[in-house]
Structure 1
Amino acid sequence: ETTMRVSRNAWSNAVACAVGGAVGRWGTLFQCSSEEAEELRIAMAGFTSYAETVSVYGTEKSFTHGDDTPWSKAFLAAAYASRGVKMRCTSGAGSELLMGFHEAKSLLYLEARCLCLQRGMGVQGTQNGGIDGAPLTATIPGGVRELMAENLIAVWLDLECASGNDARSTESEIRVGAKILPYLIAGSDLICSGMGSILKYDNSFNPSLINGEELEDYLVLQRDFEADGGLTPLPESRAIELRERAVAAIAAVFEELG
């Protein structure tokens, strides 16, 4: 996933990932996370290969009013799928609470509604486990346990589960380690929905649970638990070689496009 502070950079980000990703490893799937209509235009142009930030909310009002109704989201999912774009939705505890429209319902209740809706829409999977709401959910007693419970519901519904562990919910190294540990032991389709490949202080979007500072530790955790956490060690010389090839390929594409 690539995100950006300036929305007009979405198209150049998508081209960079489409070309650069193919240089490193063919068949790489990625999305360009921006406003949903713009994301759809980029996907229709063939520059992105999956969509994940199609947000779903569990409140009664969102089911009947506005642009987040099940009908509009199902139509959007069908539009992506019709172009062969891999489709996951995003939900997670705390999103409705953050917007002040939680209707006095529990976090898990609202998330269960979201997941059942996604199953009914026919999407391949879900990105849940709090996501942007994780820092808020983690402040509530039993909140981190709830994040795991919503991942479990996704598995019960046979949805491919990208199980969160992306938003920085705490600055405590012990709590970060405790949060990732159950997934390293039990496993998940995708243990981390996203990682920060840059240092967290330089991440203007939102620091991840695992950032540039922790990548070496995370590689060791993968080895310790023999878990596929999504990272593969790469020699520096190989990384530099791939980057040089990717830059040359992108330059050739932009030259051709004029």
Structure 2
Amino acid sequence: MRKLILLVAMLAMVLVGSVPALAQSTLSGDQGANPPESDGGSVRGIITDISGSVVLVEADPSASSGPKGYFTVTDETEIARLEGDIRIRASFEDLEVGQQVQADYAGPIAESYPPQGEAGSIVILDEGGETDREATLSFELEVECDPPANAAFFGFIPAEGGINAQLTDPDEDGVYTGSVNVPKFPPGPAPPGTEPVSLPVQIVQVRGVIKDFGEVKIDGDKTFKATVSFCDDNGGGSGNGGSSSGGGKTLPNTGGVLPITLGAGALLVAGGLLARRLGR
């Protein structure tokens, strides 16, 4: 009888010791069955699909698990582009598959995997990590016939103290080109939603404005083209058709001084004759 009681007691001790292990094993199995959730209601990753207004963002597109989520874009969703430390307003049309983004949920999230919910914000990240604060303005001037030997052409921004790029024709094909970098934003930090600046842009020569492009928003690299002709001026004119001036016209290089000199000489001769006649 004592042996039976001792055996039962030993079996009970074995069962009591195995219960925690069984419970831990069961708990671990249940946790493994639960889908992973995005950290803090947001996903930082790559856009892998855009269907209508729903954007799928995955931290690692090659993994079957991990942070990912469906974000429904609404009229209240903030969409922006991050360029260095500057956050610039963007639109839904700017979102593309393959972009690196930071997406945040707004409001409740459906209990599914991947999670689904309305997007509070989607920010396109700057993968280069550098602030794109400048834009390149390129100029192309087609010159018809031979310009004067002392002619000089410039791409000109009559602002910020005057910014210019001399246009040259190294290929001697009649097309003068040049470029200059200009700031896209005012000096100092730019808060979210800062719009690029607008600058006046012209193509000029020493004797006047060839073409005035007006105020141009500097939201990216741009190219400006114009044409000027010297065919009717025997190489010394101010250009026809494509040339304009904001003020009075300047005299041609070769013909402006001579008429003035002749006129002054005629006046001197006439004055001398008159004085001689009065002296008689």
TM superposition score normalised by structure 2: 0.17
Bigger helix share: 1
Q: Which of these two proteins has the greater Rg computed from alpha carbons? A: 2
Bigger strand share: 2
TM superposition score normalised by structure 1: 0.18
